[in-house]
Amino acid sequence: MGKAKANAGPLARRPDNSAFKQQRLPAWSPMLTAQTVLPFFYGMAIVCVLLGVWLLVTVQNTHELKVDYTHAGSCDKCFEKRKDRANANQSCNCTVVFNIENTFKGDVFFYYGLINFHQNLRQYMDSRDDGQMIGRNKNLKNPSYYCEPFIKDKNGLPIAPCGAVANSMFNDSFTLMYHSAAGSRVVPLFRKGITWYTDKNVKFRNPQVENKTLTLAQVFEGTGQPLYWQKPVYDLDPWDRNNNGFINEDLIVWMREAAFPNFKKLYGVLNRAIEPFTDGLPAGNYSVLISYNFPVEYFQGRKEVVLSTVSWFGGQNNFLPVAYLVTGCLILLLAVILTAVWWKFGKNGRNMKE
């Protein structure tokens, strides 16, 4: 760039006559004229309104039911019990009853929700060791200092999984019951397939050992369970041996920290292979049996159970459809104002005179 040309002569230092150097690059200069701006605004208004309507229709076709069970129904006593930390090891079961009026058609998802639980605190979020969770043996026995103060248990054993996130894992469990004329029956839920594929297969792995015959418990030997856990990590799912250790899907779901203090996390998916749930959840009376373990009283939190169907647009969230409708209307209003102003001031170019 800018090197003097080698050729001598009377015009040796004459700059190149390139479009770039002479700042004559061909260019497109868009202008904000009435001919471009007004049609664009009307167009955008139409697009937004149409999108809004379409999304609204889509969202209206989904169903969602939220049941707050913090101290609803018989859970009140459990709530009281969990206030006292001394009762932490006592189990407490309770039931919440609710009614579904319209059939939840299609896939139905069972979520648990937490209100006012800050999974997004910086120190909380940092308090985990991905290296341990991916199954690195070094990290298993020697977790990252990020896990402070949940690195070692009171016996001095390294905690697996370490850190505040894992330690505070949600440990209520649910059984959804359908009460029809034919009697009560358990609604079948898939408890696997609730995580991102990448999490389950890449991000979380059990420690790799040479000896394939070792049981998971032996692999985790020499580590302690997180302080607040009732079970060790290799024993999280007593029914499915392959859903244990770091690849336990409830753990994985929990470890994907929520961005906001109010969130819901997937607990299970309706198994539609079994009658009468092939079309979804039929209308009727339901109850949830809850193993009430997770204390929320300390942080004025609440817990809920959410049943929901989804569309291509995701869960039931009316914000985007409404926002598009409102935006569309605003743009239309703006377009009309702009047109009026243009009609009055800009059309004859009077303001453009010097």
Site for other proteins in 41-70 (CB under 8 A): 41, 44, 48, 51, 55
Which 105-124 residues touch other proteins, going by CB under 8 A?
107, 109, 111, 116, 118-124
Contact 143, 224 (CB under 8 A): no
Query: Closest by alpha carbon to 169, among 198, 136, 127, 199?
Result: 127
Of the pair 71, 82, the CB lying nearest other proteins is at: 82
Q: Residues 184 to 223: which contact other proteins by CB under 8 A?
A: 194-199, 202-203
The packing angle between helices 319-341 and 34-60, to 10°, is 160
Collect all residues with Cβ–Cβ distance below 8 Å to 271 and sequence separation of at least 6.
188, 189, 190, 277
Footprint of other proteins on 265-324 (CB under 8 A): 265-266, 269, 295, 298-300, 308, 310-317, 319-320, 323-324
Q: How many CB atoms neighbour CB 354 within 10 A?
A: 2
Q: Is 230 in the site for other proteins (CB under 8 A)?
A: no
Instruction: By CB under 8 A, name the one of 3, 7, 13, 89 that touches other proteins.
Output: 13
Out of 21, 77, 138, 241, point to the residue binding other proteins (CB under 8 A): 21
Q: Which is nearer to other proteins, 111 or 277 (CB)?
A: 111
Asked if 1 is part of the footprint of other proteins (rule: CB under 8 A), the reply reads yes
The span of 10-18, 68-76, 179-187, 275-283 binding other proteins (CB under 8 A) equals: 10-18
The three-class DSSP label of residue 305 is: strand
List the interface residues with other proteins, window 141-170 (CB under 8 A). Answer: 144, 149, 164, 167-168
Q: Is 253 in the site for other proteins (CB under 8 A)?
A: yes
Q: Tell me how far apart the terminal alpha carbons of the chain are, to the nearest angstrom.
A: 43
Q: Exposed/middle/buried for 203, CB within 10 Å: 0-12, 13-18, 19+?
A: middle
Structure tokens at 222: 């020499």
- The answer to whether 89 contacts other proteins (rule: CB under 8 A) is no
40 SS3 class: helix
Q: CB of 24: closest distance to other proteins in angstroms?
A: 8
Least distance to other proteins from the beta carbon of 188, Å? 16
Cα 259 from Cα 249, distance rounded (Å): 19
